[in-house]
Amino acid sequence: MLTYGIPAVFGLIVGLVVGFTLQWMMPIMLGSMIAQSLAGIVAGGIFGGAIGSISGEANASPGSTGTHRVLVAIIFGALGGFLGATRFELVWIFFRYMHWRVPSQFAK
């Protein structure tokens, strides 16, 4: 559990932070949803993979290469970067589809 859990959690958290930071620092450059998504996926994958792999290696067992932990961290970092850069737009689309309330600051 910890072999994959720690890199996944750290990758997702770092991806979210990097995605939100990208959206906050460059709102004009990332004007379209496609640009936000791609920038979040790339940046989240890079930074989430780096931080998640470091945290996964700290919990590694002797004799394993750790490439699977790096891949898990990159995937969850890219997911976090996508969600952060689009300000959870995919989540709010799902909320609207289910006819649930969307927080007022995210309502369109």
Q: How far is CA 25 from each of CA 31, 42, 83, rounded to the nearest angstrom?
A: 12, 16, 16
Query: Which is more confident, 54 or 80?
Result: 80
Sign of the Cα pseudo-torsion (48, 45, 22, 97, in order): negative
Question: pTM higher than 0.75, yes or no?
Answer: yes
Q: Say how many C-beta atoms besides its own lie within 10 A of residue 50's C-beta.
A: 17
Q: Say how many C-beta atoms besides its own lie within 10 A of residue 51's C-beta.
A: 20
Sign of the Cα pseudo-torsion (86, 90, 91, 95, in order): positive
| pLDDT 10s digits, 25-69 | 887 777 788 888 898 899 999 998 888 778 767 766 666 667 788
